[in-house]
């Protein structure tokens, strides 16, 4: 890279650019070269070349930053088991409900857009753990991003603000169009015409328990317990299945090798306790299974 009437400082910066090993070092050297380069007609091409190189490195660094951000978010929000996501416009009571359901204490005020990023938590319902995700307040700008996340979750819990809001109504329609399972909850303090089933008061423990039960029911999941031959069932750590799942799905959840089981007995939904069933027998919430290999 040549320059007319450039001082020794410029050439030192040029050498620094040649010796640079990282994009950050090259960028620093190029900025120094631009500052030290003579500014006259004969140096126009030189300055354009330096500017183009700076732009190229900034673009490269931006790409690296975005990739790191995506990897970090993926690592922070690894899906665990059954997941439900809370969505709502500003001041819809979304984070207050998240805190009550998960036992967390995320900032929840009347300040719009208090929640800045996806926040994971765990809701415990009886002996089931459900992963909850709190999201930034729904806006026209982030609607598609939130919709994309909801497509990978088992249930979208929409905290419905009583006032008419275009963004809110359009997002609910998008959930329906994408066939995403959803449930609507309405804070009682904001509503006068909601049904008791939909409305809740986040500060009443009995209301929160009702909400937990409703979420469990809306998820369409069942709990199945295992027992060893001649042993007792383990009621502390159930297998979580979808409604309609069979013995085959349960065996696969326990261990892939159990797909070649010799026989299975079921207690609970069968006509008599410990009845032997085949692999396509549909299980029900609370069933106990005994698998023999």
| Coil, helix or strand at residue 230 | coil
Percent of the chain exceeding pLDDT 70 equals 85
Distances (CA, A) of 88 to 96, 132, 176, 281: 12, 14, 15, 40
Q: Could you tell me which CATH number the domain at 221-292 has?
A: 3.10.20.30
- The pLDDT confidence band at residue 230, using thresholds 50, 70 and 90, is confident
| β-strand partners of 241 | 222
Residue 192: predicted pLDDT: 46
pTM above threshold 0.75: no
Distance CA 3, CA 49 (A): 11
Question: What pLDDT does 111 receive?
Answer: 47
pLDDT tens digits, residue range 104-153? 766 554 444 445 688 899 999 999 999 999 999 999 999 999 999 999 99
Pairing of β 221-226 and β 128-134:
unpaired
Q: Could you tell me which residues come within 8 angstroms of residue 148 by beta carbon, excluding any fewer than 6 positions away? A: none
**Euclidean distance between CA atoms 1 and 32, whole angstroms:** 14
Rounded to an integer, the average pLDDT of 12-32 is: 91
Distance of CA 103 to the CA centre of its chain: 18
The predicted-structure confidence for 171-229, as pLDDT tens digits, reads as follows 999 999 999 999 998 886 544 444 555 678 877 888 899 999 999 999 999 999 998 88
CB neighbours of 177 closer than 8 A, spacing ≥ 6?
A: none
Angle formed by the axes of helices 166-177 and 143-150, nearest 10°:
30
- pLDDT reported for residue 71: 63
CATH number of 83-218: 3.40.50.300
Long-range contacts of 263-267 (CB under 8 A, 24+ apart): 263/291, 263/292, 264/289, 264/290, 264/291, 264/292, 265/289, 265/290, 265/292, 266/290, 267/233
């Amino acid at each position: 890279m040549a320059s007319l009437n450039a001082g020794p400082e410029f050439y030192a910066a040029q050498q620094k650019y040649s010796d640079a090993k990282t994009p950050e070092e090259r960028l620093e050297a190029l900025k120094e070269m631009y500052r030290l380069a003579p500014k006259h007609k004969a140096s126009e091409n030189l300055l354009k070349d330096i500017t183009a190189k700076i732009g190229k490195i900034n673009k490269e660094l931006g790409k690296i930053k975005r990739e790191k951000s995506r990897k970090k978010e993926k690592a922070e929000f690894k899906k665990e088991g059954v997941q439900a996501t809370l969505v709502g416009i500003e001041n819809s009571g979304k984070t207050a409900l998240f805190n009550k359901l998960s036992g967390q204490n995320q900032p929840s005020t009347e300040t719009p857009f208090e929640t800045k990023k996806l926040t994971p938590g765990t809701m415990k319902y009886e002996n089931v753990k459900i992963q909850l995700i709190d999201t930034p307040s729904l806006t026209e700008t982030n609607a598609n991003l939130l919709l994309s996340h909801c497509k990978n979750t088992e249930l979208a819990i929409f905290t419905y603000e009583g006032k008419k809001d275009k963004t809110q109504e359009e997002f609910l329609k998008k959930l329906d169009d994408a066939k995403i399972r959803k449930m609507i909850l309405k804070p009682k303090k904001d509503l006068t015409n909601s049904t008791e089933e939909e409305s809740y008061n986040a500060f009443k423990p009995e209301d929160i328990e009702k909400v937990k039960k409703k979420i469990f029911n809306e998820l369409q999941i069942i709990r199945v317990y295992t027992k060893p031959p001649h042993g007792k069932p383990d009621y502390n750590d159930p297998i979580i299945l979808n409604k309609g799942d069979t013995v085959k799905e349960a065996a696969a959840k326990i261990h892939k090798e159990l797909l070649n089981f010799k026989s299975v007995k079921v207690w609970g939904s069968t006509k008599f306790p410990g009845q032997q069933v085949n692999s396509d027998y549909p299980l029900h919430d609370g069933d106990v299974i005994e698998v023999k290999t």
